Structure 1
Amino acid sequence: MVRWLATLSRYDQQWFCWCSQRSQGFQQQGWIRLLSRTGDGYCYALIAVVLSSSHTESANALALTLAAGFSLEVPLFILIKRWLKRPRPYQTLSITAVIRAHDQFSFPSGHTTAAFLFAGIASSFYPAWTPLWMTWATGIGLSRILLGVHYPGDILAGALLGSTLAFMALQLVG
């Protein structure tokens, strides 16, 4: 693990433990898991199909921009995770996660990256709904901490990466 990530890990572990101690009542609630699952990927596709069903020019541009964004996001976040190999909280701390993640590495959060990528692009096409998109993306990120599979730094990195990729996709397609 690179040096800056080791320093981040120390702070993240402290913040994670602080959050975990104060949120135990939330961790077992089903809606937290449901919120997290909306970040699994199928939900983005479903929303994109519904939004694109209007068959307008902007709906086609939305679909194209989302495709461009996710074609950048998936390989990039996988590459970063495999390069940094940061273990998940339940692998390094004596905690029991509410769920098990799909992969073994933590940094950055793929759910949060995808959520902020989607929210950034959707906000560009449906600006009146920006508060909804951003609240949803933030909720997905926070749910990953509450469920014990990510540190706060993973979420911040995912939000930054997803937002940056949304901007790039909008520039590419726009």
Structure 2
Amino acid sequence: MNRLQKLNAFDTRAFFWCNGYGQHAPVMAGSRWISRLGDGGLYLILGLTLALWEPEDGQAFLLVGLLAYGIELPLYLLLKNTIRRDRPCHRLQGFRAAIEPSDKFSFPSGHTAAAFVFAMLLAQFYPSLMLPGFILALLIGSSRVLLGVHYPTDIAAGALLGITSTLLALGVWEWI
């Protein structure tokens, strides 16, 4: 068995272990709700609210956020459509996800990438909100595994993509 096969086997075992906790009704209901927070609308509403409420930091938060999402989204689409990893609910026989995924492929997790962009922005512009931001990002990523639409490595890759995209955006922002 080569390294990629070993990683895939480990990822599948980790998926089933994590997903087993998601089968309890309260966990499933909470996972659905938390996952919806990562759909994207909340980030835009909060960014616009901060831009109006706190003109200096809020506007920078919004502009850097738009730049970070402008970096993250094309990279996410490129990776997802190049790697083309089937979702667990499409690959694992007899397994059914709790929700219908928006597309066929799982790597990386777009919900997680977006959540980590937002968490990194909070850490940079509103350090007192860093811990809640990262906790929410982790919960959003975890919810995607509990709902059966992502493997744990999809979440790790999404987190890395979100963090990297935000660091690039912050670098560009400092440069201009």
Question: Secondary structure of the equivalent of 1:96?
Answer: coil
Partner AA of 1:123 in structure 2: A
Between the two proteins, what is the percent identity of the paired residues?
40
Report if aligned partners of 2:20, 2:146 keep a CA contact under 8 Å in 1. Answer: no
- TM-score computed with the length of structure 2 as normaliser: 0.91
Question: Secondary structure of the equivalent of 2:53?
Answer: coil
Judged with a 3 Å threshold, the aligned counterparts in structure 2 of structure 1 residues 38 and 4 are, in CA distance, closer, same or farther, namely farther
1:9 CA drift (Å): 2.2
Report if aligned partners of 1:106, 1:149 keep a CA contact under 8 Å in 2. Answer: yes
CA distance in 1, matches of 2:71, 2:4: 23
C-alpha distance after superposition, 1:74-118 (max 9, x if no partner)? 111011001000000011112110001111100000000010011
Comparing 98-107 with 51-60, greater Cα deviation is found at: 51-60
Is 1:109 aligned with 2:109? yes
CA distance in 1, matches of 2:77, 2:6: 22
Q: Residue 39 of structure 1 aligns with which residue?
A: 38
Comparing 100-109 with 7-16, greater Cα deviation is found at: 7-16
Report if aligned partners of 2:117, 2:163 keep a CA contact under 8 Å in 1. Answer: yes
Report if aligned partners of 2:117, 2:165 keep a CA contact under 8 Å in 1. Answer: yes
CA distance in 2, matches of 1:142, 1:60: 30
Q: How does 1:20-99 map to 2 (within 5 A)?
A: 20-25=19-24, 29-93=28-92, 94-99=94-99
Report if aligned partners of 2:21, 2:146 keep a CA contact under 8 Å in 1. Answer: no
Is 1:167 aligned with 2:163? no
| Structure 2 spans left out of the alignment, 5+ residues | none
CA distance in 2, matches of 1:144, 1:23: 10
CA distance in 2, matches of 1:166, 1:4: 30
Q: Residue 18 of structure 2 aligns with which residue?
A: 19
Judged with a 3 Å threshold, the aligned counterparts in structure 2 of structure 1 residues 32 and 21 are, in CA distance, closer, same or farther, namely closer
Q: Residue 150 of structure 1 aligns with which residue?
A: 150
1:69 CA drift (Å): 0.4
| Structure 1 spans left out of the alignment, 5+ residues | none
CA distance in 2, matches of 1:69, 1:46: 16
1:27 CA drift (Å): 7.1
Partner AA of 1:18 in structure 2: W
CA distance in 2, matches of 1:171, 1:5: 33
